[in-house]
Amino acid sequence: MEILEMPPVVEKKANHRANVVRVGEILPHPNAERLEITLIDGYQVVIGKGSMKTGDLAVYIQPDSVVPQTEPFSFLWKTGPEANSFPNNIVPEKYRRITVRRFRGEYSEGLLLPLAELLPVNDRALGYDYTEGTDVSDLIGVTHYVPEFDREDTHASTIGLLAAPRRKYPKTIKGWFFFLLHKVGFKKAQRSLALETGFNFPVYDVDALKNAGRRGFQTGELVQASEKIHGSNGRYVCVDGVMFAGSRQQWKQEGPNVWWNVLKQHYEIENWCRQNPNKVLYGEVGPTQKGYNYGCEKGETFFFAYDVFDPETNTWSWPGNEGFELLAPPLYSGEYNEDLKKWADGPSVVPGATEQREGVVISSRVRRNKLKVVSNAFLEKDSKR
């Protein structure tokens, strides 16, 4: 099958941002005289006593962000035995990763710094917008942390990668026109042909419930909650009788990688994809993360489906409604209430698993809305690996 490259569309998620915020009520730390606590959009942050006051503008950097090696953040790595001993004076990412930590028994979910420390007021002359709610991650060099295994070279020319799958033949008269032009050597027709025969397969991600704002769930809304599995993003589709296996952003050539190993070990995936051509089955594959095997023996893999996308109708659906049975473990079904956030903590319910639960994914049963809550205990433990 001939394949033409279609670049992925990647939208910056709310948990990848570093927003300007206004500091709210500041509370005393119950166990430390030199520390205080404040809430930022539902996140609890521990700050130094007197470092900020209610009404100040600050920058909130969420857990699993990576800060640049610049002076405002140097306090993160200038303490401890490793300080000033990094090879070539380059601070490793693990020392620049913002995580969930506990200070004298209280969780601090991220980092809060005064706006003036990161973005001087005189920079307004350069046209920078520092109003409340502005994402300044690009300005200050904050990026989103990606585990080593999940880091991808997004260039389709890289060995082992494929461009996005497409139809072998066009479905419209307009598409056949470009198809014929392409066949007779009209190079400018290639891009138009790719658009006619290609699919828009979205890059999958789920926002945090704490970032949802108005997109959150209403009390009493019918929802279902499932365990969040700690693996890697996978997706599968059958186009014109050919199976494709991919990660979050890339389509992988067949070979000894976890995505194809999953496909070969779990026949249900290919059977379903062939019965539902062009529909994309999204799920969590693994083991890929250290210490999270979910009962798999050496050489075995797992797959838990969590979504189906139909590019023909541009709609999403729950895999269980599409006849697929390898699903993320269910935890709850019923009316939404704030206590559901507590389902993020606890042991995994995967049969044979001994791992701690990464979190919970909550989905509305009446509208397209899916949000996650990650366990603070998991984030704290994961940051120490």
pLDDT tens digits, one per residue of 7-40: 333 445 667 789 999 999 999 999 999 999 999 9
pLDDT in tens, 50-84: 999 999 999 999 998 999 999 899 888 876 655 66
Confidence check: pLDDT of 175 > 80: no
32 plus 80 within the same structural domain:
yes
Residue 219 domain flag = yes
Query: Per the structure, how many domains does the chain have?
Result: 3
Cα–Cα distances (Å) from 183 to 4, 164, 295, in that order, read 14, 20, 51
Beta strands 222-228 and 359-364 are: antiparallel
Residue 96 — very low, low, confident or very high, per pLDDT cuts 50/70/90?
very high
User: Could you tell me how far CA 243 lies from the centroid of its own chain?
Assistant: 25
87 plus 170 within the same structural domain:
no
Q: What is the side-by-side strand order in the sheet with 222-228?
A: 330-335, 222-228, 359-364, 370-374
Secondary structure element (H or E) that encloses residue 109, with its range: strand 106-109
Confidence check: pLDDT of 6 > 80: no
259 plus 347 within the same structural domain:
yes
- Average pLDDT of span 341-363: 92
Question: And the tokens for 74?
Answer: 């140097």
The angle formed by the CA atoms of residues 70, 73 and 77, to the nearest 5 degrees, is: 100
Q: At what angle do helices 173-183 and 189-197 cross, to 10 degrees?
A: 140
Confidence check: pLDDT of 128 > 90: no
The residue range of the domain holding 177 is 166-197
44 plus 18 within the same structural domain:
yes
117 plus 226 within the same structural domain:
no
pLDDT in tens, 269-305: 999 999 999 899 999 999 998 889 999 999 999 999 9
pLDDT in tens, 230-254: 999 999 999 888 899 999 888 898 8
Cα–Cα distances (Å) from 67 to 107, 190, 359, in that order, read 20, 41, 24
The pTM of the full predicted model, rounded to 2 decimals, is 0.76
137 plus 180 within the same structural domain:
no
42 plus 112 within the same structural domain:
yes
